[in-house]
A and B are shown apart, each in its own frame.
Chain A
Amino acid sequence: MQPAELSAVELVQAVRQGDLTAERCTEAFLSRIESVDGRIHAFLKVDREGALRAAAAIDQKRRAGKPLGPLAGLPVAVKDALCTFDMPTTCASKMLANFRPPYDAEVVARLRAADAVIVGKTNMDEFAMGGSNENSAFGPVHNPWDLSRTPGGSSGGSAACVAADMTPVAIGSDTGGSIRQPAGLCGITGLKPTYGRVSRRGLVAFASSLDQIGPMARSAADCALVLETIAGHDAGDATSLKEPVPAYSTDLERPLAGVRIGRVPAHFGAGLDPEVAHGVEEAFAAFRAAGATIHDIDMPHAGAGVATYYVVAPCEASSNLARYDGAHYGHRAEPGRGHRAEPGRGHRAEIGGGHRAEPGRGHRAEIGGGHRAEIGGGHGSTGFSKDNGGFESALEEMYCRSRAEGFGPEVKRRIMLGTYALSAGYYDAYYAKALRVRRLIRQDYLDAFQKVDLIGGPVSATPAFKLGEKTGDPLAMYLVDLYTVCTNLAGVGGISFPCGFTKSGLPIGFQLQAPALAEPLLLRATDRYQHLTDWHRRRPALAAAPG
């Protein structure tokens, strides 16, 4: 039995029945990681020993006749934005390169308690800010379908990991599309649950009112299995919902007859790639065939989603990221250089250009160790602008330089944007204004869900784009989030899954959105679709089973 060919549901069953040991299963995926991740760079940390130790303990438990957790033996990769007490948690930032949390995120703790095997931490855009994974301080992730292309972001490492069969499931986080968009670009299934459905405790915060953790897997059924474990109330997260967690896995097979799916004509505007449009329309047709009805609906304020999001998210981020100042943990600039000229240490010039994509280059930066020199390179104080430097104390210098050195350009941009939008004189024009539009956007959803049960459409306007293609143009990169940000602004749930491939062999993603707490319907609709189609079973050539 080749573990990589089994679904998560099948793997867990095989381990429970003793057809497969957790150790053998874990070993199979670890070897897979070792053989392909050099080309993909989905992982920032692989914990071979820890994973095998956990697997052995599960096998031991089974042999001793003790009850096994619902995810027994299931290898899981976790986005490096979730705290793990036994592995570094870097958020793909130089700032946290050496950070070791003294605690597990609630989701990680629940996975461990369910006997899942945490194999490692996945690469991502720094602090989850980005839609291409090129903002990782440790180098980008490559799309398993075409290594010269982005896997999407920010949970690009988790998406590529699953797409390349390195683990059957991975955990991602979604603030404006960071699960759904990379799932779409990598041809896998990714669920962003309703805000508050999954505890955020231990998820390194990007934008607290938007962040949500969710499962990424090959199928809706596998997502349902994982969501059953990670969802549920956490008394340690005041924004966690108290509603009981349904058994998502048990209601997947009910037919879709009578389910109304909304279609937003404005989604099919000029910016939508024709091949993507075609794939999405085909998916609507498939849903119709499955018994659902399709209704054109209007989401009048959806067009303002990206602008709203790029005020709200940076404002919260500018505050959430204030704690990274070098004082208590994280990167601290070396002291004393502020008063010396160091002509040799030029500052980085590429800030405006963003990261250079370097697909050809070997990645696998060592976490906790060095970084790419151009990111870690210090700034001699003579390099700082006189308009901005002139630190009034050693402490101020430490703050300003630690943050300058520790954060990458996109993170700085968003901190700057949020700081500006919250500052005296601009709050009303930007932050308060965006919050008013946010209410209108949420109202659009409330109105729409009076008429339909789900809203369908594209998850991304284009298939995976080339690494480096948008890095010089931050705004073009922001527009990648066009179809996904409103879900987060409204706090509802969304799922994306493959609905076809372009002629050049790139996955096309379809997105469904549902009212708050309608995860059962999202998963069921996707599962029904996946019973009619086999897009989700396709594997990139790279991913042919090894040996």
Chain B
Amino acid sequence: MSSPILGSTPAHGSLTRKDVAKVALLARLALTDVELDTMTRELTTIVGFVGQLEAIETAAIDPLAHPLDTQNVFRDDVRRPSLSTAEALQSSPRHDGEYFLVPAVLGDTGAA
């Protein structure tokens, strides 16, 4: 890492290829062997970089998930026009004019 901002890359838990394959499965990304190697290397670097946060004392600090302090935003229970079925399906890769069609979902009914 040559960046002057970083200094040296902090040693943080490095990811194994197996970890990365598992994350790819969670994220539903098919990766080739080459991609898996590259991804493992890159994620290890990036995760090492963000590992610098560990050094910051935050024991007494609450997480801040959102910049707004706003609360209680509601809408009234009033109908608004829906899309037509044609509009709903207009960008669908596969449909029959009524339903979205997707490849069969297997395994829900069969015995284990």
Contact = CB atoms under 8 A, between A and B. Distances in A.
Given A303-B5, A352-B41, A440 B67 contact: no
Nearest to A489: B67
Interface string B64-79: 1111101001010000
A113 interface: no
B95 to A, nearest CB: 9
Interface in B27-52: 27-39, 41-43, 45-47, 49-52
B11 interface: no
B90 A102 contact: yes
A260 interface: no
Contacts of B1: 475
Contact of A491 (B23, B54, B68): B68
Contacts of B63: 432, 435-436, 438-439
B91 A98 contact: yes
Contact of B102 (A195, A330, A351, A395): A395
B27 A318 contact: yes
Given A393-B107, A479-B3, A474 B42 contact: yes
A415 interface: yes
A77 to B, nearest CB: 23
B104 interface: yes
B103 A351 contact: no
Contact of A383 (B18, B32, B38): B32
Given A417-B43, A475-B45, A403 B29 contact: yes
Interface in A367-397: 379, 381, 383-389, 391-397
Interface in A413-433: 413, 415-417, 419-421, 423, 429-430, 432-433
Interface in B54-112: 54, 56, 58, 61-68, 70, 73, 75, 83, 87-88, 90-94, 100, 102-107
Contacts of B67: 195-196, 209, 442, 489-492
Contacts of B93: 326, 329-332
A436 B30 contact: no
Contacts of A413: 39, 42-43, 46
23 contacts: A100-B91, A196-B68, A304-B52, A308-B50, A311-B50, A318-B27, A328-B100, A332-B94, A347-B32, A347-B34, A387-B21, A388-B21, A392-B106, A393-B105, A393-B106, A396-B28, A400-B29, A400-B30, A401-B30, A403-B28, A429-B54, A436-B64, A442-B67
Given A306-B5, A351-B39, 9 more contacts: A98-B91, A385-B33, A387-B17, A395-B105, A416-B23, A429-B54, A430-B50, A436-B58, A437-B61
Interface of A: 98-102, 195-196, 209, 235, 238-239, 241, 269-271, 301, 303-304, 306-308, 310-311, 318, 322, 325-332, 335, 347, 349, 351-352, 379, 381, 383-389, 391-401, 403-404, 407, 412-413, 415-417, 419-421, 423, 429-430, 432-440, 442, 474-476, 478-479, 482, 489-492
